[in-house]
A = this chain, B = another copy of it.
Amino acid sequence: MSEQENKNTSVNEQVDQLAAKIEEVVLGPDGNPLSKKALKKLEKEREKEKKKQERPALEAAERAAREANEVDYAKDNYGMAKMNMSQEQTNTKWTEIKDLNAAMAGETVYIQARVQTSRPVSAKMCFLVLREGTATAQALLLTNKDSISKQMVKFANSIPSESIVSIVATVTQPGEPIKSCTVGDAELHVTKLFVTSEVKTMLPFSLEDASRSETDYEKDPTLNRVNLDTRLNNRVIDLRTITNNAIFKIQAAVCQLFREFLEKQSFTEIHSPKIIGAASEGGANVFRVTYFKDSAFLAQSPQLYKQACIAADFGKVYEIAPVFRAEDSNTHRHLTEYIGLDLECVFREHYHEVMYMIGDMFIYIFKNLEERWAHELEIVRKQYPSEKIKFDEKPLRLEYKDAVALLRKHGEEIGDYDDFSTPQEKLLGKLVKQEYDTDFYMLDKFPLGVRPFYTMPDPENPMYSNSYDFFLRGEEIMSGAQRVHNADFLRERIVSMGIDPDSLKDYIKAFEYGCPPHAGGGVGLERVVMFYLGVGNIRRVSLFPRDPKRLEP
């Protein structure tokens, strides 16, 4: 509009200059008044000259008026929206981009979405890619005589990427599928376009760069890379990529499926305290909290509390909650705060009742992820290519001693009762994959010496224990065991491991009043998601990751 005003001003200026010229020429070049004849002649000439002079100005004025008119005919159809303070509520039905499809052709839809990119084709036409969550669609503005002006197209082109817009559009079916968007069989012909929230700052990186796969970089090594630290420092922008939106839908899905399975089995969800009075489980790697005039600690696991719930007759319990580890590990798979999926379950005869149930649970999760979250998995696999994981209907169970034998067969040096190193775990994963064609298995009967004090020894060989880890793509995702449910024996185990039983007296007390045999386990949510999706670093699957060096944002 300011440009139009400039044009108008310039026409007025030209008219004024002409009028001044006319007054000037009434006097002859010598400064004396001209004769009537000469004056008439001159007037005619001036008339002619004036018209000649005025023509471009008038034409410009007319053009300006016409253009101003064009602005007018579309001006109610676009612009900056007032800040939404809930000024009004209509009965408009709004559509989400993910729900668009060819069957809606001809329908008028109302959409609120983000402008991912805008691309001008000419002064009369422009394409927008609109994004909402994990869905993108192509929108088109094309001038017409009554509702879409060039000014509106220009305005559309000028919207900064990542701004939020509200549009009204007609759904059309494109001639051929739109490959660059997740909605391929529908296109939006925009009739109204308002900016709801404008981006006023330069983005730290483009969403396009943040969404590239390794394959993209192989094809064109000059493309910008966005390194992990830059992403995490600007996590709100980074999380907007459809890949990241999809990753966190999958993370939520893992929790949802975990609960679905356990609730069908009559598990009760519990919420155990995270601020605890005594540093349990030894006291190492625990964060200290100032608690009024006292000192407290952050719980390293809900272990003792979920067992207390078993002693309190809850039967089957689970918890999804943050777990805190003050461990100074700066690796691809350690966080100082992560989400634990914990469960504990009474059994009647044998801890395998629980172990196999947990195995079935993982298979339920894996299967349902592939079926019900196929859209999200497809999106993630475009940026981070990975194969579907392989597993058997009844998950493979290996004994620790057999795993040791397998490793030795392939040249590893390892003692009977040694814990595996991470490289050994990964090698074992490869060997198991070769031999059994599965990415998922249960390793049972760990040496007693490498497990915590509350682990039940094996009844046949006290060097082993009734404990298990679950592995996905060669890395541990869950650790569990039958627990010692007998107070006297628990005290004996605690003392034998050199721990002061007084420091665990509340824990031991829970079992003195009778407790059924039970087993359980703890799953690291981020690890499951990370290994399932093969994204290589645990920080990619934590919303706002915390490690020894990162506390923000």
Once the chains are docked, how many angstroms separate the CA of A90 from the CA of B352? 11
Q: Which of A69-77, A177-185, A391-399, A506-514 contacts B (4 or more CB under 8 A)?
A: A506-514
Interface string of A390-426 (1 = CB under 8 A from B): 0000000000000000000000000000000000000
Judging by beta carbons under 8 Å apart, are A290 and B287 in contact? yes
A217 at the interface (CB under 8 A from B): no
Task: List the B side residues contacting A553 at CB < 8 Å.
Answer: 308, 506, 509
Task: List the B side residues contacting A272 at CB < 8 Å.
Answer: 543-544
Judging by beta carbons under 8 Å apart, are A349 and B236 in contact? no
Interface string of A78-112 (1 = CB under 8 A from B): 00000111111110101000000000000000101
Judging by beta carbons under 8 Å apart, are A322 and B271 in contact? yes
Q: Which of A47-55, A119-127, A311-319, A428-436 contacts B (4 or more CB under 8 A)?
A: A311-319
Once the chains are docked, how many angstroms separate the CA of A274 from the CA of B325? 13
A245 at the interface (CB under 8 A from B): yes
A336 at the interface (CB under 8 A from B): yes
A240 at the interface (CB under 8 A from B): yes
Task: For chain A, residues 287 to 312, give those with C-beta under 8 angstroms from any C-beta of chain B.
Answer: 287-292, 294, 296, 298, 305, 308-309, 311-312
Once the chains are docked, how many angstroms separate the CA of A525 from the CA of B196? 35
Judging by beta carbons under 8 Å apart, are B456 and A273 in contact? no
A31 at the interface (CB under 8 A from B): no
Once the chains are docked, how many angstroms separate the CA of A156 from the CA of B513? 18
Once the chains are docked, how many angstroms separate the CA of A87 from the CA of B110? 66
Judging by beta carbons under 8 Å apart, are B515 and A164 in contact? yes
Q: Which of A10-18, A222-230, A262-270, A470-478 contacts B (4 or more CB under 8 A)?
A: A262-270
- State whether A197 and B289 are in contact (beta carbons under 8 Å apart), knowing that A83-B486, A551-B276, A551-B294 are contacts in the complex: no
Judging by beta carbons under 8 Å apart, are A552 and B506 in contact? yes
- State whether A551 and B314 are in contact (beta carbons under 8 Å apart), knowing that A197-B514, A197-B515 are contacts in the complex: no
Judging by beta carbons under 8 Å apart, are A249 and B236 in contact? no
Task: List the B side residues contacting A311 at CB < 8 Å.
Answer: 236
A46 at the interface (CB under 8 A from B): no
Interface string of A490-513 (1 = CB under 8 A from B): 000000000000000010011111
Residue with the highest number of chain B CB atoms closer than 10 Å, among A90, A197, A514: A514
Judging by beta carbons under 8 Å apart, are A308 and B236 in contact? yes
Judging by beta carbons under 8 Å apart, are A321 and B324 in contact? no
- State whether A348 and B486 are in contact (beta carbons under 8 Å apart), knowing that A269-B256, A456-B86, A552-B277 are contacts in the complex: no
Once the chains are docked, how many angstroms separate the CA of A131 from the CA of B553? 50
Task: List the B side residues contacting A321 at CB < 8 Å.
Answer: 321-322
Task: List the B side residues contacting A353 at CB < 8 Å.
Answer: 89
A548 at the interface (CB under 8 A from B): yes
Residue with the highest number of chain B CB atoms closer than 10 Å, among A85, A90, A315, A544: A85
How near does chain B come to A427, taking the closest CB pair, in angstroms? 30
Judging by beta carbons under 8 Å apart, are A248 and B314 in contact? yes
Judging by beta carbons under 8 Å apart, are B514 and A551 in contact? no
- State whether A236 and B513 are in contact (beta carbons under 8 Å apart), knowing that A289-B288, A292-B328, A324-B275 are contacts in the complex: yes
Residue from the list B312, B348, B544 in contact with A236, Cβ < 8 A? B312
11 chain-A/chain-B pairs, Cβ below 8 angstroms: A85-B456, A86-B350, A133-B315, A197-B517, A201-B513, A236-B312, A245-B312, A255-B269, A273-B337, A276-B551, A276-B552
